[in-house]
Structure 1
Amino acid sequence: MALNGHCMCGAVAWAYSGEITRNLVCHCTDCQRATSAPFTAFLGMRPDKLSWSGDIRHYESSPNTFRGFCPSCGARLYFRSDRWPAEIHVHAATLDDPGEYRADAQVMMRSRAKWLDRLQSIPVHEDFQQAPSTATP
């Protein structure tokens, strides 16, 4: 499988050609805090089949566990840990076409944000619910 992706500003890009080892949505509290989101979708990839361009910074979120991010825009790029030495977990939101992502499992459900259960019952809007303010502060 050949996949490509990039950070929000485009300063970091990646290319992958190989088998996907995991295809998950993770609800753990570490992923929630690292991404400021209720869950993280990621693809498990073989590090030797993945190439990067651009400057990447790392944060050691726990011993021998690193989270890569773009120093320009702050976009989270991946998670890697000595617990899974043959994998790097790239965030699905960085895919060139993240709308094509299809997870095949959810993990760490004990940490799932309870308000996600309400999503189907709350109003939906195609754009922002209110127009942005035009007043200057």
Structure 2
Amino acid sequence: MTETLVGQCMCGAVNWSSSDQITRRLSCHCGDCQKATSSPFTTFVGLPPETVEWTGEINHYESSPGTHRGFCPKCGTRLYFRSDKWPGEIHIHAATLTDASSYTPDAHVVMASAVPWLHLADDIPKHQSFQAEPADQE
């Protein structure tokens, strides 16, 4: 489904928009996402990276080889996750959506790393690993 999505960081210095096909709607429970966001999980909107228009300065942190996380240098808002493992996608933090009222993830992934005290009451499918396997790393 194609939707027009817009979002921004907390202070408004960085804005983004896309009017393309959403590739994934997921909540990730992996240890890297937990550390990067200081939360038990984070929810992403997957989009083709070339379809996202950005305004404002973005700092990047290479959290592991070939994996980058973008954030606003002014307020620190986490903006996205991008990895060579999934070359056709950028995963934008759903919390940056200007209007998140119509957004719902369709999967929880990496439940094997979920914090034990979190009990999800939703009926969204839960996967022990990634919903889409990473590209071969040669």
Q: TM-score, normalised by structure 1?
A: 0.84
Whether 1:25 aligns to 2:55 is no
Find the counterpart in structure 2 of residue 111 from structure 1.
113
Whose helix fraction is larger, Structure 1's or Structure 2's? 1
Q: Deviations along 1:61-82, whole A, 9 cap, x unmatched?
A: 0001000000000000000011
How far off its partner does 1:49 sit?
0.9
One-letter amino acid of the structure 2 residue matched with residue 34 of structure 1: A
Gaps of 5+ in 1: 120-137
Whole-Å separation in 2 of the counterparts to 1:118 and 1:40: 13
Q: Residue 131 of structure 1 aligns with which residue?
A: none
Matched, 1:87 2:89: yes
Match of 1:130 in 2: none
Q: Distance in 1 between matches of 2:92 and 2:18?
A: 10
Match in the other structure for 1:68: 70
Question: Greater CA deviation, 92-101 or 8-17?
Answer: 92-101
Aligned-pair CA distance for 1:115: 1.2
Instruction: Please give the secondary structure, in 1, of the residue aligned with 2:81.
Output: strand
Residue 36 (structure 2) aligns with: 34
CA 1:118–1:71: 2 relative to 1, 3 Å: same
**Which structure's CA Rg is the greater one?**
1
Q: Distance in 2 between matches of 1:40 and 1:98?
A: 14
Q: Does 1:100 align with 2:98?
A: no
In structure 2, list runs of 5 or more residues that go unmatched: 122-138
Partners of 1:106 and 1:118 lie apart in 2 by: 10
Shift of 1:99: 3.4
Report the counterpart of residue 46 of structure 1 in structure 2: 48
1:118 Cα deviation (Å)?
A: 8.4
1:134 corresponds in structure 2 to none
The residue type equivalent to 1:114 in the other structure is P
**3-state SS, counterpart of residue 32 of structure 1:** helix
Distance 2:119 2:23 in 1: 28
Structure 1 residue 98, shift from structure 2 partner: 2.3
Structure 2: distance between partners of 1:109 and 1:13: 31
Task: Quote the offset at 1:100 in angstroms.
Answer: 2.8
